[in-house]
Every structure is written in structure tokens, then in C-alpha cells.
């Protein structure tokens, strides 16, 4: 099924440099049939967006700031989102902003049965993050661009600034998730583990820790072990994970 997405971008709250990478990321989750960006286009700070909008077929929506200190862009985005919701033309939304003001909007859209993806910077308040089905950090998309650069020194500096360290907190989080769906022998299908991790913590992403996929992330943690099994037809490998006996001793019955 082709999932149709409405992409609504807060132009006042998101950097313009990586819009191409953002659109490529969004395409992984569905077909962005509606693409709009909101802001006061008479303001100089939004001029960087202009040439990128044509390249990515994003429709600019003019919203004047009627009152000093008030963000009229938020209201325009919210009104449009509700209009799109009631039009029944999409299956989900991608809200691109680092602003917690969209928390209630994300919650309302999910209550209506919509998928909600969020994209924003790491400064995004947690209430907005957890209100989404999945949340992607722009910093990760920035680093993917940096990896393609020829300047190794620059890439290494970017890596230090972007990647989070895997701590005992993350290890316990993964371990408890494995236990939630493990069979009697402690094994859990990695695909199900990844889905449950996402439901519990929408901003959980292996790329936040320097790994493109969940499998190498799990492999890097000595507390877990991975087993590859053939499916019933022998056509593909299924990956299962469990807590190592020494690491999980006393945790599983």
C-alpha cells in the first residue's frame, strides 16, 4: 500500500540547508503528495529557502506576523493540517519543526488514526517527540551528507558532535524490550524488537549511535547475541536476538 503523506514544514524553525536530505528521508515512509512550507516570505532570513522550494516541489505558504512576539506560522500550519485531515486525502503527516507548539497537533492527528512522523533538531522538546509515531533528528541527516565529503577531518568532527554514546540506560531499554516479546528460550525476532523500540521511544534510531541499521548496533553491545535463521522456504535469513545468559542472568525466568 502506497502511504500518502502531507509534509508541513515550519520555515521559521528549521534550517534550509538539508531540505533535499529531509525529503529523501520522508520518501522512505511514504509518498509526500502534499508539501507545504510556512513562513513570512517578506523576511530576509527565509530567503535561503526560495531556490530549494522549486527543486523539491514544495509550496510556500505566506503567513504574515500580525503581532510582534507571536508566531503566526504555527496557527497557519495547524489550520491547514486539520483541513487536510478532514479532506481524507492522506494517510499520515510529517511535521517538520523543533517547536513544542505542535505537540497537541501531533496528538490530535494520531487520535484520528493518522501516522505522524516528526523531523527536527536535537533541541526539540520531548513532549513533541513522544507525540509522534517516529521522530528523526536533522543532525543525523546532516552527518550523512558529511560522510560523503572528502575532508576526513571535518567528518570526524561532525561525528563527535552528532552521535550519542550508548550507555547502560540504552542497554537496559533494549534488554527490557527483548524480554517483552521473547519466547521461552529468550529469543525475539529483531524486526519485532525494532518496532517495539520505536513505539516505546519514537526518537530511537540506530543512526543516533553511528549505525545505519539496528543489527550492527545490537552486534556492538556485548550484552546481546544474534542468531540468523532461514525462513520456512529457505529464501531469506531471519535475525533473532536475545540477552546473553551471563548478561541476563537473574532477569529472565
Q: What is the pLDDT of residues 33-78, one digit of tens each?
A: 999 999 888 887 777 887 888 888 899 998 776 554 446 678 889 9
Return the higher-pLDDT residue of 128 and 51. Answer: 128
pLDDT of residue 156: 47
- Number of neighbours of residue 16 by Cβ within 10 angstroms: 18
Produce one character per residue of 110-144: b if its CB has 16 or more CB atoms within 10 Å, e if not: beeebbbbbbbeeebeeebbbbbbbbbbbbbbbbb
242, 190 contact by CB (below 8 A): no
Q: At CA 134, angle to CA 194 and CA 209, rounded to 5?
A: 60
pLDDT at 147 over 80: no
34, 89 contact by CB (below 8 A): yes
We report the CATH number of the domain holding residue 232 as 3.30.420.610
- On whether both 206 and 116 belong to a single domain, the answer is no
Residue 97 domain flag: yes
- On whether both 143 and 210 belong to a single domain, the answer is no
**Greatest Cα pair distance in the chain:** 65
- On whether both 172 and 122 belong to a single domain, the answer is no
- On whether both 59 and 118 belong to a single domain, the answer is yes
Residue 155 domain flag: no
Report the percent of the chain where pLDDT is more than 90: 60
pLDDT of residue 158: 46
Residue 189 bridge partners (DSSP):
240
Mean pLDDT of the chain: 85
16, 121 contact by CB (below 8 A): no
- On whether both 142 and 177 belong to a single domain, the answer is no
What is the dihedral sign for C-alpha 86, 90, 91, 92? negative
Residue 152 domain flag: no
- Residue 207: which domain range? 168-248
Among 108-112, 149-153, 228-232, the range with the most confident prediction by mean pLDDT is 108-112
pLDDT of residue 128: 96
pLDDT at 174 over 60: yes
pLDDT in tens, 14-31: 888 888 899 999 999 999
Query: Pick from 112, 147, 182: which residue ends a domain?
Result: 147
pLDDT of residue 161: 57
Q: Flag the least confident range among 9-13, 37-41, 142-146.
A: 142-146
Report which of 22, 10, 23 is spatially closest to residue 124, judged by C-alpha positions: 10
User: What's the structural domain count of the chain?
Assistant: 2
Q: Residue 189 region, left (φ>0) first, then alpha (ψ -120 to 50), else beta? A: beta
79, 43 contact by CB (below 8 A): no
- On whether both 12 and 49 belong to a single domain, the answer is yes
We report the CATH number of the domain holding residue 42 as 3.40.50.1010
- On whether both 49 and 140 belong to a single domain, the answer is yes
Report which of 142, 137, 101 is spatially closest to residue 122, judged by C-alpha positions: 137
- On whether both 121 and 231 belong to a single domain, the answer is no
Q: pTM for this one?
A: 0.84
**Strand, coil or helix: 112:** coil
pLDDT in tens, 196-251: 999 999 999 999 999 999 999 999 999 999 999 887 776 778 999 999 876 444 44
Residue 115 domain flag: yes
pLDDT at 149 over 80: no
Q: How far is CA 131 from CA 24, 52, 154, 158, in A?
A: 23, 29, 34, 29
pLDDT of residue 152: 47
- On whether both 61 and 121 belong to a single domain, the answer is yes
Per the structure block, which three cell numbers stand in for 63? 503567513
- On whether both 26 and 60 belong to a single domain, the answer is yes
Residue 94 domain flag: yes
- On whether both 141 and 183 belong to a single domain, the answer is no
Amino acid at each position: 500500500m502506497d502511504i500518502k503523506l502531507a509534509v508541513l514544514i515550519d520555515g521559521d524553525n528549521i534550517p534550509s540547508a538539508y531540505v533535499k536530505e529531509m525529503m529523501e528521508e520522508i520518501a522512505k515512509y511514504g509518498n509526500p503528495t502534499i508539501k507545504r512550507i510556512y513562513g513570512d516570505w517578506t523576511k530576509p532570513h527565509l530567503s535561503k529557502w526560495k531556490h530549494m522550494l522549486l527543486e523539491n516541489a514544495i509550496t510556500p505558504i505566506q503567513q504574515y506576523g500580525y503581532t510582534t512576539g507571536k508566531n503566526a506560522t504555527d496557527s497557519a500550519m495547524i489550520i491547514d493540517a486539520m483541513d487536510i485531515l478532514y479532506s481524507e486525502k492522506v494517510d499520515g503527516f510529517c511535521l517538520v519543526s523543533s517547536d513544542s507548539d505542535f505537540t497537541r497537533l501531533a496528538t490530535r492527528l494520531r487520535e484520528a488514526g493518522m501516522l505522524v512522523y516528526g523531523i527536527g533538531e536535537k533541541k526539540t522538546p520531548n513532549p513533541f517527540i513522544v507525540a509522534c509515531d517516529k521522530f528523526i533528528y536533522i543532525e543525523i541527516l546532516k552527518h550523512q551528507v558529511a560522510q560523503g565529503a572528502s575532508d576526513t577531518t571535518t567528518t570526524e568532527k561532525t561525528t563527535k558532535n552528532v552521535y550519542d554514546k550508548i550507555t547502560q540506560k540504552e542497554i537496559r531499554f533494549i534488554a527490557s524490550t527483548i524480554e517483552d516479546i521473547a519466547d521461552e528460550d529468550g529469543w525475539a525476532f529483531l524486526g519485532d524488537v525494532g518496532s517495539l523500540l520505536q513505539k516505546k521511544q519514537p526518537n530511537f534510531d540506530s543512526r543516533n549511535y553511528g549505525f545505519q541499521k539496528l543489527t550492527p548496533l545490537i552486534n556492538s553491545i556485548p550484552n546481546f547475541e544474534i542468531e540468523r535463521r532461514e525462513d520456512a522456504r529457505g529464501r531469506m535469513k531471519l535475525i533473532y536476538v536475545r540477552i546473553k545468559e551471563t548478561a541476563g542472568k537473574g532477569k529472565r525466568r
